[in-house]
Structure 1
Amino acid sequence: MSQTIPNKTGQASELLTKTELAKRLKVSTRTVDLWVNEGRIPKIKINSSARFDWGDVLEALKKQSGKEAV
C-alpha cells in the first residue's frame, strides 16, 4: 500500500513498494531490482524494507532518457 509523506521541499511524496512501482512502470520486480543495483533509480530503506518515492523515480528515469516523464 502506498503512503504519502512530505518530502524535503514540503511537497507530498508517494512512497511505493517494489511491487507497486513495478506495476506502475509496467516492468517486473526483477527489473526494479536491476535498476536499483545499477543505480538507475533511488530507493529508500526503512528498517528491513525498501520503498520508492514515485517522484524521485520518475525524475531519475527522465534524466536518463533525456525525455519528459509521463
Structure 2
Amino acid sequence: MLVKTHISSSGSAQNPMITPSEFPVRRFIHIIRMIEDALRELLKNEFEVLRSELKEMLNSKNEEQRYLTRKEVARYLGVALSTVDLWSRTGKLRKINVNGSIRFDKYEVDRIFDSKSDKI
C-alpha cells in the first residue's frame, strides 16, 4: 500500500495521507470488517439459539427418563410385570398418562419403595 507521510519542520512524521489509489482498498477493507462483524454477531446469535435448544432437549430427555413404562418399572425394581400390575391396581403405584401412554413416575417409585420397602 502506498502511503505518503508528511514530515513536519521538527522532523517527526505526521498522520499519513491516503493516496487516491488507496480509496478502493480502504473501502474494501472496511466492507470486509463489516462482514466479519456481521458474521460474528450472526454466529453468536445462532450459538445462543442452539445452546438454548440443546438445553431444552436435555431437559425433555430427563423428563422422559423420569417417567417409566411398566416394563421399565419391573426391570428397575427386579419384579415381574404382574407384580407391577398388581401394585398399580391396588394403588401402591399410581399410573400417569404421559402423551397418551401409561407411565409411572420414577421419583414416586423411589420415594414409595424407599419408605415402604418392608411393606411390599
Normalised TM-score (structure 1): 0.66
Larger radius of gyration: 2
Stretches (4+) displaced over 6 A: none
When the two chains are superposed, the root-mean-square deviation of aligned CA atoms in Å is 2.0
- Residue 4 of structure 1 aligns to a residue whose secondary structure is helix
**Share of identical aligned residues, percent?**
36
1:49 counterpart letter in structure 2: S
2:97 counterpart letter in structure 1: K
Separation in 2, partners of 1:4, 1:20: 15
Normalised TM-score (structure 2): 0.41
The one of the two structures with greater contact order (alpha-carbon pairs below 8 A, sep at least 6) is 1
TM-fit CA distance, 1:46: 3.3
Q: Deviations over 1:13-55 (max 9, x none)?
A: 6111110110010001110000011111122023653101111
2:57 matched to 1:5? no
State how 1:13-28 maps to structure 2 within 5 Å: 14-28=66-80
Structure number with the higher helix fraction is 2
Contact 1:44 1:51 survives alignment (8 Å) = yes
Structure number with the higher strand fraction is 1
